[in-house]
Amino acid sequence: MSVSSKKIDFFGQIQVITEKFLTYRNMKRRIKKEERQAKNPLLDWIGAFVWAAGMVLLANQYLVQAYRIPSGSMIDTLNIGDHVFVNKIVYGPELLPGVFKLPSPVKPKRNDIIIFENPSYISRGPVFDIAQRILYMLTLTLVDIDREDNGEPRVHFLIKRAAGVEGDRFVLENGNMRILFSGEKDWVNEQDYISARGWKHRISRIMKQEDYSTLSSAGQASALMDLGMTVPEDLLSTASQARGLSAPDFIAHEKARLETLRKLAPGEKRYSTLLARHRLGWYISEGRVFPLGDNRDNSRDGRYFGPVRTSRVLGNGMIIFWPLWRMRKIR
């Protein structure tokens, strides 16, 4: 066979192979096109929705979650109705909602805005909790099926400021916090410490300092009533004014009540034990953080349920994304 004949045969084989490839490719394209045309548009829509929902769930569960502020406990930092994004990965995400949390080398620091499981929350069961959280995440906080009988949302999560970390000790004096830092000897006023650090947030107070004497009288009157004793008219008159206070400091009221009970019934050791917490303060043990609301007279926080385990802290507040005019980084 001549050289020219070999060349012709070679190019002929290439042409045959090319034609077969192009024929196969066109056939595959035609089959895919026919399959797309045969599909039900409703199934296409459902498939797209499921895929999008899956992406939203993954992002909310492991990366960033939307959260709606339900109360005024963080005013002026966060207002009622603010929608915020929470960084879920920084402290270690949960593998499943409410099931298991991955460890993280990053722990909540002092002054962080943290979201955590409400220690006072009573679960309706793991199945309901997971279903509620999935629906809450899918709708970006618009639908919450976890509600009280009166229709009010049950507070499963709280968002507060990490005011104390492990090793700190806190005491309250007329609603004002004093801190004894780990390894230090001198107590520091919280407001002075915030100013010295240059932090921009403000501790909001509703209760006036001059109203604490009225609250103290109310606590004393309550103690006398608890013991079945007669309350003097002048004390009763002063104590009655406490009902008109817009945001009474219940902790200060309880302290005054216990101090009176201890004086009148020194043999009852339980009064001294309960009063010790108010005098000695709260100690933040290892692996815990002390959350407080910036709106101190309208916040149910660590002063009522104590320090929170860092393993229960789910994320760190990032930004307010709605309403638009409130859009800003959370500090």
Helix axes 250-264, 212-226, angle to 10 degrees: 50
- Residues written for the chain: 331
The beta strand positions in the chain, using DSSP E, are 64-68, 83-87, 113-117, 157-165, 169-173, 176-180, 188-189, 282-283, 288-292, 308-309, 313-322, 328-329
Q: What is the DSSP letter of 230?
A: P
Closest alpha carbon to 295 in 69, 67, 71:
71
pLDDT tens for 78-88 read: 999 899 999 98
Mean pLDDT, residues 170-183: 89
Decide if pLDDT at 4 tops 60.
no
Decide if pLDDT at 1 tops 60.
no
pLDDT tens for 84-105 read: 999 988 998 877 766 777 888 8
Map out the domains of the chain as residue ranges: 3-53, 54-204+284-329, 210-267
pLDDT band at 3 (very low <50, low <70, confident <90, very high): very low
pLDDT tens for 266-278 read: 888 888 888 888 8
More confident residue, 121 or 226: 226
- Say how many C-beta atoms besides its own lie within 10 A of residue 266's C-beta: 10
Decide if pLDDT at 256 tops 70.
yes
Decide if pLDDT at 39 tops 60.
no
pLDDT tens for 177-188 read: 999 998 888 999
Mean pLDDT, residues 119-139: 76
More confident residue, 253 or 18: 253
Decide if pLDDT at 11 tops 60.
no
Report the pLDDT value the prediction gives residue 110, as an integer from 0 to 100: 92
pLDDT tens for 52-63 read: 666 666 677 678
Decide if pLDDT at 176 tops 70.
yes
- CA 223, 224, 227: angle at the middle one, nearest 5? 90
Report the pLDDT value the prediction gives residue 64, as an integer from 0 to 100: 85
- Of the chain, the percentage scoring pLDDT greater than 90 comes to 27
Mean pLDDT, residues 226-237: 88
**Comparing 30-34, 142-146, 291-295, which segment has the lowest mean pLDDT?**
30-34
Decide if pLDDT at 112 tops 90.
yes
Mean pLDDT, residues 17-44: 65
Quick one: fold of 54-204+284-329? Umud Fragment, subunit A (2.10.109)
Report the pLDDT value the prediction gives residue 303, as an integer from 0 to 100: 87
DSSP-derived secondary structure for 30-54: HHHHHHHHHS-HHHHHHHHHHHHHH
More confident residue, 2 or 178: 178
Decide if pLDDT at 246 tops 70.
yes
- Say how many C-beta atoms besides its own lie within 10 A of residue 202's C-beta: 13
Give the number of C-alpha atoms closer than 13 A to the C-alpha of residue 277, restricted to the C-beta side.
16
Decide if pLDDT at 33 tops 80.
no
Describe the strand order of the beta sheet including 188-189 as a list of residue ranges: 188-189, 176-180, 169-173, 282-283
H or E segment and range at residue 305: helix 302-305
